[in-house]
Chain A
Amino acid sequence: MGEEEGLRQAQLLDTMFVRGLKRKCFDGEEDIEGTLAGFKAIPSYNLQRQSLLDMSLVKLQLCHMLVEPNLCRSVLIANTVRQIQEEMTQDGTWQMINTQNAGHASLDRLVSTDILCRSSREQTEAKHSPGYSTFPKDFEETQSQDSSEIMSAVSSGQAPRNLQSNMWEMESPQENRGNFQKSLDQIFETLENKSPNSVEDLFSEVDSSYYDLDTMLTGMMSNTKMGHCDVLETFPSQTTTNSNSNCKSDLNELDHIVEILVES
Chain B
Amino acid sequence: MSVFSHFFSPADIISTVEFNHTGELLATGDKGGRVVIFQREPESKNEPYNQGEYNVYSTFQSHEPEFDYLKSLEIEEKINKIKWLPQQNAAHSLLSTNDKTIKLWKITERDKRPEGYNLKDEEGKLKDLSTVTSLQVPVLKPMDLMVEVTPRRIFANGHTYHVNSISVNSDCETYMSADDLRINLWHLAITDRSFNIVDIKPANMEDLTEVITASEFHPHHCNLFVYSSSKGSLRLCDMRASALCDKHSKLYEEPEDPSNRSFFSEIISSVSDVKFSHSGRYMLTRDYLTVKVWDLNMETKPVETYQVHDYLRSKLCSLYENDCIFDKFECAWNGSDSVIMTGAYNNFFRMFDRNTKRDVTLEASRESSKPRAILKPRRVCVGGKRRKDDISVDSLDFMKKILHTAWHPTENIIAIAATNNLYIFQDKVNSEMH
Contacts and interface: CB of A to CB of B under 8 A. Distances in A.
A253 B347 CA distance: 35
A170 interface: yes
Nearest to A206: B72
A192 interface: yes
A74 to B, nearest CB: 9
A240 B262 CA distance: 29
B317 A231 contact: no
Given A14-B314, A20-B265, A226 B323 contact: yes
Contacts of B147: none
Interface string B64-77: 00000111111110
A235 interface: yes
Range, interface on chain B = 35 or more
Contact of A15 (B259, B266, B314, B326): B314
Given A18-B262, A20-B262, A70-B162, A188 B205 contact: yes
A100 B319 CA distance: 32
A129 interface: no
B233 to A, nearest CB: 14
B69 A264 contact: yes
Interface string A206-249: 10000000000000000000110111110110000000000000
A115 to B, nearest CB: 12
A19 B205 contact: no
B97 to A, nearest CB: 16
A55 B321 contact: yes
Interface residues of A, number: 53
A206 B72 CA distance: 8
A72 B314 contact: no
Contact of B321 (A19, A66, A229): A229
A55 B213 CA distance: 24
A18 B266 CA distance: 14
Nearest to B265: A20
A51 B75 CA distance: 33
B326 A20 contact: no
Given A14-B314, A184-B206, A80 B73 contact: no
B398 A230 contact: yes
User: Mostly helix, strand, loop or mixed at chain A's interface?
Assistant: helix
Give the one of B75, B76, B318 with max A CB within 10 A: B318
Interface string A246-264: 0000000000010001001
Nearest to B100: A68
B122 interface: no
A10 interface: yes
Contacts of A231: 315, 318-319, 322, 324, 394, 396, 398
B316 interface: yes
Contacts of A72: 180, 211, 213, 230, 270, 326
A66 B68 CA distance: 10
A235 B205 contact: no
A10 B262 contact: no
B322 A80 contact: no
A70 B206 contact: no
A250 to B, nearest CB: 16
Contacts of B323: 59, 73, 226-227
A206 B71 CA distance: 9
Contact of A14 (B210, B211, B230, B315): B315
A68 B73 contact: yes
Nearest to A11: B318
Contacts of B264: 17, 20, 80
Contacts of B161: 71
Given A80-B267, A84-B263, A193 B160 contact: yes
Interface in B103-136: none
Give the one of A78, A84, A231, A264 with max B CB within 10 A: A231
A15 B314 CA distance: 6
A17 B263 contact: yes
B207 A76 contact: no
Contacts of A79: 209, 266
Nearest to B202: A188
B209 A52 contact: no
Contacts of B208: 75, 188
A229 B209 contact: no
Interface in B184-237: 204-211, 213, 230
B314 A18 contact: yes
Given A15-B314, A75-B211, A195-B70, A227 B262 contact: no
Contacts of A19: 259-262
Interface of A: 10-11, 13-15, 17-20, 49, 52, 55, 59, 66-68, 70-73, 75-76, 78-80, 83-84, 168-170, 184-185, 188-189, 191-196, 206, 226-227, 229-233, 235-236, 257, 261, 264
13 contacts: A18-B313, A19-B259, A20-B265, A52-B317, A55-B320, A66-B74, A71-B181, A72-B180, A188-B206, A229-B321, A231-B324, A261-B69, A264-B69
A-B pairs, 3 with minimum CB distance: A20-B262, A188-B205, A71-B180
